[in-house]
Structure 1
Amino acid sequence: MNGGLNQVWSGACASDGTLLFGNFDRVLEYDGQTWRQIAVPNAAYVRGLAIDAAGTAWVAGVNELGRIDRGPDGRRTFTSLRALVPREAGDLGTLWQVHVTPQGIWFQGNTALLRWRDGKFDYWPTHEKGIVLSFWLGDHLLVALTRGWFKPREGGRWEELGDPADKLGTYFPHFAIPHPRGGWLLGLEGDHGVVAGLGRWDGKKLTLEPHPLDEFFKARRLYGGVRLADGRYVLTTLQGGAVLLDRDLNFLAPLNEDTGLESSAAVSATPDCHDAVWIGTEWGVSRVELHPAYTWFGAANGLRRHASPMLQRWQGRLLMSGADGLNRLEPPLALPGVARFQRWSAIDDKIWAMRPAGDTLLVGALGGLWEIDARGTPRKVASVTNIFDVAVARASPDVAYTATLRAFLRWRRIAGEWREVDRLPDVRGNSIGEDGDGRLWLGTDNQGVWRVEFPRTGSRWR
């Protein structure tokens, strides 16, 4: 982030992919290669930012508001509209949000709601002293006041939403995004600023919805949320980073300092058009890849850099070979947490291959052939070195083959013990395949691919 201050309170993505971020008395512009600063004088913190279909960016700061348009040179510049605000609105204080809607451009402050339409502002006083937030719900604006939830009517009037007996004013929503079952998913704060968790608003009734992450949301201060284009959700917190949820609000992954964010104080989330979301924090902004087709595993998941890891799913768990033995992917101890690869077996060897053989696992390693039982207990079968691949016969889990640096071997399990029953010396292979007819194929480093046969009278390779 070139030249900006550390906190990023808001963001928006233009139709051409350019990203804008609200910063201190400026908007930061990023086109994928270069950062620029767009000065917003006297705005202090730019907390509200939205872009309309024509590409105009609408900006709200502290007692300042206006628009950003491209000039003749193609550069974006800010134009203040503060002088056009009705005098009776007085000092606007902090303007928190901007909503681009068919009804006009809405600017939400603590003391007033403003709408820019047809070249002038309309004004709705809130008569509030604390923070006031609002949300566009498809066809109308919901404004959360301490005396209830309202929508603005023409002429500066308010229409109360819901049943007054529900005392909606006791809940302060921080975000409102589409709910997977219809209506709106809200992040709620209750009495005395205590986080109440998630709720669903259907336009008439608010229903609190318990979630497995409720304790986390309360302890780490649930703050913001966005719904991604693929239906997943990113919810931010002020002390615990963000969390990624699936289309049904089930936990998928944490997004915090342990997984790469610059800070776990996550105050904004801005999706871009490349399957990523930009998390604005109190220490800059971080781009997080959230491609729906894959999940990235790295250092936060216990991985270290090493060459050619081998993966094998066995007994419903994922195993990974390493330079120092065998690791198993373990679920997080508590949510939100990350799954981690942890040392699983006592094999202290460089592992090249793993293959299930009935209810056990055969492991080919630098120092020999191993068998692991269902409890993870290893037993060394043989000290044949440099086993590059292991294959188990399709016809029987009691017949196996190993490709090594010095020979191609056939093994048979007899009375629970693996025994070498055939050997092709000086046949160096590094991969084994078996076709639909049960024929064996051996891949080599520099001699091509060979078909191997083990007739009853002996061994033969071609």
Structure 2
Amino acid sequence: MFFDVSSQSNSNTKFGVPLRVHFSSENYQGSIQNWEFDQSENGLLYVANNFGLLEFDGNKWKKYNIPDATKIRTVMIDSKGTIFVGGQNQIGYFWETGKGLQFKSLRKELDALNVEFSEVWKIFELDDEIFFNVEDKLLSYSNNQIKKIDSPGFLISSFLVKDRVFCQFYNEGIFEYKDGDFIALPQTNNIERLIAILPNKQGYYFLSEKGKVFEFKDSNLQFKIDLLQSDTVNEAIQLENGDYALGTQNNGLLIFNSDFSKKLHLTKNKGISDRTVKSIYEDNFNNLWVALNNGIDYIKLSLPFTLINEELGVEGTGYDAHFFDNSLYLGTNNGLFVANTADLFLNEDHFSLFPDSEGQVYKISQIEKELFLNHHEGAFKIDGHELKKIHDIGTWNLIKTSKPNVVLGGDYKGIKYFEKKNNSWVNTKDLPDLSESSRILVFENDTTLWMSHGYRGVYRIKFDKNMKYKNKIEHFDDRHGFPSNILITSYNLNGKMVFTSKSGIFNFNKDSLNFSSNQFFDNYLGKEHVSELVSGINNSVYYIQNQNFGVLNEKKYGDFDKKTKIFKHINKYISDDLQDISVVNNNSVFITAKDGFIKYDPQKNHHIEKKFSTIIRSVKVSKAEDSLLIAIPINKEKLKINNKQSVKIEFASPFYDGFEDLKYSYRLKPLDEKWSKWTDTNEKSYNHLPYGDYTFEVKAKNIYDLESKVSSFPFQVSTPWYANWYAKTGYFTLFLVFIILIPVLQRKKYKVENSIIKKEKEKEIRVKNEEIDKLYNEKLQTELNLKNDQLTSTTMQLIKNKEFIQGIQAKIITSIDKGGSVQELKRIISSIDKELSDEDYWAKFAYHFDQVHGNYLEKLSSMNIKLSPREIKLAAFLRMNMSSKEIAKLLNITHRGVELARYRLRKKLKLERKQNLVEYLIELDKNNTIP
């Protein structure tokens, strides 16, 4: 590390570590190793990674894989925006499809030329021709054709410098490739392997792998300097300001001035995250992207800030900084740290803890040519490399008085006098009438001292010209114009006393002994609390307000420019306890930080008015409601969706100078008239949009509160078929037809309504008739069931009577056989036979049977086929599904007689053999038809 505050040190060297952001492999989802960078015209960063091509837009990383390649070694974007890549066993290019990058391999073209290779190490463009440096040869690609360039030997490396192509061949030296030929450069055949050819004003510097620099000018080669003692150079580039940046294998990153004097050295735990640097790239913000052995560092080299913290050996929160006798002293809560600027410059050493200074340091005071340490343990004189204690009570500050060899000190218990006697400083007495802790002591003039207390206001103390106390202490608080008693601090700005308070900055009116608002600071800073205020060079004023750093620079007398935007980079680092700003000289302002210190260089210009853009990164549309989103091409054709689809638009701004603080605002025209509130969210979704044409607009705001150009994306929510122009024309035509046909339709409607009413009436009548028929049928069914029951009962009774009489008849016959009165018994039997043959029972049966079966017997009698009475009875009994046994009893015949009767009946009815007689008789009843 190098220091630039001393007049003895080189003004072009840097001190401290730049602000940086580290990206791990987990952040970008790739391999730990990266090989090369390039940046597209719209600002997107591309990185050759072992696992593929990385793309960074300032918000997200994206990885593109390459088929049949395990590692990508090089990436280059040509003048047309095509991204060429090369790696292990693969070579080709990416182009933008509208929804991402697509890869085209050139491997087949090389196979056709019988070109074999395993690695591609470099790609560059000259006059629309692309050159590929494979491991031993040079290839060119133009007009969609690739060819092998015949070379004078085994190719080691190639370089494009100021539109000239140089190649180094093993044992052959360095050649320039020009007009299709290789032209040897004199005196270069024995030069060691080159890593870079760097331009200078007169010619070129050849930088070897071992760090040796050779100057090539006017066809002469001359050794210039050895930059490294025992290390290897992996990469070297010339920066836009003319400096040279070197990446080494074991010693980190080195930056040299154009004459190769050292300017900055960063290595592991001292400014970068790894000691191995594989590649360096300066982006369009003049910051460095550094490919490490493990991850990527973004070094904010363009900013006028560096950090002095534990990486440089400074431990703890910063409290005060002081430059004295070619050394920088830094006080923290862990002690006093010191570094000699010459040692820093020559040995690249870091800070060391001053012996016996452990503990809380408050202030470093310089009294003439002597330096004092104000410490929690007391006050000490810094004498060479040791501390000499001059006071035992915790001391805030020692200040010089107008009287030689007399110093006032504020400690935990008040104000003390210190005098130098016999070349030693001693505490001679205490200031009477004041026992308050006295941290802030400021002389208004030689005889007036102001002491500020954290929560009790401010005190004015009067002395004579010999620093003798006049026994007068005046106390001022909220009764004298301050808004409250807390946070009051006194400052002497270029001979003028001002007092900060909880709300606003005040002046003291000596006549009224009251405080009133300072109009100058009210105009520039308002009423918010200012916690630190200090005069700078050229009448400037530095301040800290609400944890935000700023400076008022005088443009012309009485007119100041307020500068705050650039300091947004460091506000998050600033300490919030006993803040301090130390202005050392024109290019060194030290600000106490939560971790060490921040060094600000006011002389370093950093252009914040850089134009930038916002890019529509992707558009995703769902196929249907609640379905997954699918990326679609972003092209000139207007996107069309329906209102059931959702659309998600992602955007980003590749403004890397403070990309962590980018904000976005958007609107959807014509739906939104106003822009949305600023947000760090870089996507917006829309669902169920009404039909119509829309334009999505988005813009970004960077860390400097500057807005980007507006980017837009038009799309259309299409009208459905039933709402398009043709449908509307059809609707209008139908409307006209409807108007014309209204009278006809009304008449037709009247007829239809009358018809409906008539049908409803008819239906109502039909329903009622059906209900009546239903009730009548139910009544008939009931009567039929009753008659059927009566018929069954009568039949069964007849059967029983027959059985009974037949039983008696049998007994009488038996009695006759045994010798009874034959004549009498025969007379009884004859009477019984007469009873059995009596046809009265049949008349009753027939009556009931016809009631149930709709005059069935009468119809049988009237058939064309003549049936005997016995056959009609048989048909009736069969219709009732009686058994042959039951029929035999009723007809008073045998079972065989019943079968013969059935046979004769079948014959008369002319039934086929397969037809069932009973089923036939039942079917006659159902059909109510007698043939």
TM class, shorter-chain normalised? 0.7 to 0.9
Note the residue ranges of structure 2 that are not aligned, 5 or more in a row.
1-24, 475-931
Structure 1 residues 93 and 49: CA distance shift in structure 2, 3 A: same
Which residue is 2:217 aligned to?
202
What is the letter of the counterpart of residue 95 of structure 2? D
Deviations 1:395-425 (A, max 9, x none): 4552222223331234332443334355042
Residue number among 423, 426, 438 corresponding to 2:431 in the alignment: 423
Q: Secondary structure at the match of 1:220?
A: coil
Q: Secondary structure at the match of 2:33?
A: coil
What is the letter of the counterpart of residue 72 of structure 2? V
Distance in 1 between residues matched to 2:462 and 2:80, nearest whole Å: 71
Please tell me whether residue 381 in structure 1 is matched to residue 390 in structure 2: yes
What is the letter of the counterpart of residue 177 of structure 1? L
What is the letter of the counterpart of residue 238 of structure 1? Q
Please tell me whether residue 138 in structure 1 is matched to residue 162 in structure 2: yes
The answer to whether the Cα contact below 8 Å between 1:113 and 1:123 also exists between their aligned partners in 2 is yes
How is 1:235-384 mapped onto 2 (pairs within 5 angstroms)?
Answer: 235-259=246-270, 261-291=272-302, 293-305=304-316, 307-330=317-340, 338-373=348-383, 375-383=384-392
Structure 1 residues 437 and 401: CA distance shift in structure 2, 3 A: closer
Residue number among 32, 35, 53 corresponding to 1:27 in the alignment: 53
Distance in 1 between residues matched to 2:136 and 2:381, nearest whole Å: 72
How is 1:161-180 mapped onto 2 (pairs within 5 angstroms)?
Answer: 162-163=185-186, 166-168=187-189, 170-179=191-200
Structure 1 residues 77 and 184: CA distance shift in structure 2, 3 A: farther
Distance in 2 between residues matched to 1:203 and 1:4, nearest whole Å: 46
Which residue is 2:485 aligned to?
none
Please tell me whether residue 65 in structure 1 is matched to residue 91 in structure 2: yes
Residue number among 138, 142, 165 corresponding to 1:113 in the alignment: 138
Structure 1 residues 26 and 310: CA distance shift in structure 2, 3 A: same
What is the letter of the counterpart of residue 361 of structure 1? L
Distance in 1 between residues matched to 2:469 and 2:195, nearest whole Å: 78
The answer to whether the Cα contact below 8 Å between 2:237 and 2:280 also exists between their aligned partners in 1 is yes
Distance in 1 between residues matched to 2:404 and 2:339, nearest whole Å: 25
Deviations 1:1-32 (A, max 9, x none): 33322221111123333221112251111222
Distance in 2 between residues matched to 1:253 and 1:382, nearest whole Å: 41
Cα root mean square deviation, aligned? 2.9
**Displacement of 1:317 after TM fit?**
0.5
The answer to whether the Cα contact below 8 Å between 1:99 and 1:106 also exists between their aligned partners in 2 is yes
Deviations 1:81-131 (A, max 9, x none): 3334484461133221111333522212234322333333353123544x5
How is 1:39-58 mapped onto 2 (pairs within 5 angstroms)?
Answer: 39-58=65-84
Q: Secondary structure at the match of 1:309?
A: strand
The answer to whether the Cα contact below 8 Å between 1:388 and 1:430 also exists between their aligned partners in 2 is yes
Structure 1 residues 15 and 461: CA distance shift in structure 2, 3 A: farther
Distance in 2 between residues matched to 1:408 and 1:448, nearest whole Å: 16
Distance in 1 between residues matched to 2:146 and 2:228, nearest whole Å: 40
**Displacement of 1:336 after TM fit?**
8.7
Q: Secondary structure at the match of 2:130?
A: strand
Deviations 1:358-386 (A, max 9, x none): 3322222223222222x233222222x23
Which residue is 1:391 aligned to?
399
Please tell me whether residue 104 in structure 1 is matched to residue 112 in structure 2: no
**Displacement of 1:342 after TM fit?**
0.9
Structure 1 residues 101 and 72: CA distance shift in structure 2, 3 A: same
TM-score normalized with structure 1 length: 0.85
Note the residue ranges of structure 1 that are not aligned, 5 or more in a row.
190-194
**Displacement of 1:334 after TM fit?**
9.2
Structure 1 residues 285 and 122: CA distance shift in structure 2, 3 A: same
Deviations 1:247-290 (A, max 9, x none): 43222333322326454332211223444322223323233332
Distance in 2 between residues matched to 1:182 and 1:438, nearest whole Å: 63
**Displacement of 1:431 after TM fit?**
1.6
Q: Secondary structure at the match of 1:176?
A: strand
Which residue is 1:184 aligned to?
204
The answer to whether the Cα contact below 8 Å between 1:429 and 1:445 also exists between their aligned partners in 2 is no
Distance in 2 between residues matched to 1:284 and 1:348, nearest whole Å: 36
The answer to whether the Cα contact below 8 Å between 2:396 and 2:411 also exists between their aligned partners in 1 is yes
Q: Secondary structure at the match of 2:269?
A: helix
Which residue is 1:461 aligned to?
473
The answer to whether the Cα contact below 8 Å between 2:237 and 2:246 also exists between their aligned partners in 1 is yes
Please tell me whether residue 434 in structure 1 is matched to residue 443 in structure 2: yes
Deviations 1:16-49 (A, max 9, x none): 3322111225111122222211112223332221
Sequence identity percentage: 17
**Displacement of 1:51 after TM fit?**
1.9
**Displacement of 1:318 after TM fit?**
0.7
TM-score normalized with structure 2 length: 0.44
Q: Secondary structure at the match of 1:296?
A: strand
Q: Secondary structure at the match of 1:214?
A: coil
Deviations 1:60-91 (A, max 9, x none): 22343222222122x22322233344844611
Q: Secondary structure at the match of 2:390?
A: strand
The answer to whether the Cα contact below 8 Å between 1:20 and 1:29 also exists between their aligned partners in 2 is yes
Distance in 2 between residues matched to 1:236 and 1:348, nearest whole Å: 37
**Displacement of 1:439 after TM fit?**
4.1
Distance in 1 between residues matched to 2:416 and 2:297, nearest whole Å: 52
Structure 1 residues 125 and 293: CA distance shift in structure 2, 3 A: same
What is the letter of the counterpart of residue 239 of structure 1? N
What is the letter of the counterpart of residue 461 of structure 1? I
- Larger CA deviation: 115-124 vs 308-317: 115-124
Q: Secondary structure at the match of 1:300?
A: helix
The answer to whether the Cα contact below 8 Å between 2:288 and 2:299 also exists between their aligned partners in 1 is yes
What is the letter of the counterpart of residue 398 of structure 2? V
Which residue is 1:192 aligned to?
none
What is the letter of the counterpart of residue 143 of structure 1? C
Q: Secondary structure at the match of 1:443?
A: strand
The answer to whether the Cα contact below 8 Å between 2:344 and 2:350 also exists between their aligned partners in 1 is no
Distance in 2 between residues matched to 1:330 and 1:413, nearest whole Å: 28
What is the letter of the counterpart of residue 213 of structure 2? L
Structure 1 residues 203 and 42: CA distance shift in structure 2, 3 A: farther
Which residue is 2:419 aligned to?
412
What is the letter of the counterpart of residue 9 of structure 1? W
Give the count of matched residue pairs: 442
The answer to whether the Cα contact below 8 Å between 1:22 and 1:47 also exists between their aligned partners in 2 is yes
What is the letter of the counterpart of residue 458 of structure 1? K
What is the letter of the counterpart of residue 133 of structure 2? Q
Distance in 2 between residues matched to 1:254 and 1:337, nearest whole Å: 11
Structure 1 residues 106 and 177: CA distance shift in structure 2, 3 A: same
Structure 1 residues 57 and 441: CA distance shift in structure 2, 3 A: farther
Structure 1 residues 363 and 289: CA distance shift in structure 2, 3 A: same
Which residue is 1:93 aligned to?
118
Structure 1 residues 114 and 203: CA distance shift in structure 2, 3 A: farther
The answer to whether the Cα contact below 8 Å between 2:131 and 2:140 also exists between their aligned partners in 1 is yes
Distance in 1 between residues matched to 2:101 and 2:160, nearest whole Å: 26
Structure 1 residues 182 and 168: CA distance shift in structure 2, 3 A: same
**Displacement of 1:436 after TM fit?**
6.3
Q: Choose between structure 1 and 2: higher helix proportion.
A: 2
Please tell me whether residue 37 in structure 1 is matched to residue 37 in structure 2: no
The answer to whether the Cα contact below 8 Å between 1:357 and 1:397 also exists between their aligned partners in 2 is no
What is the letter of the counterpart of residue 472 of structure 2? R
Structure 1 residues 241 and 458: CA distance shift in structure 2, 3 A: same
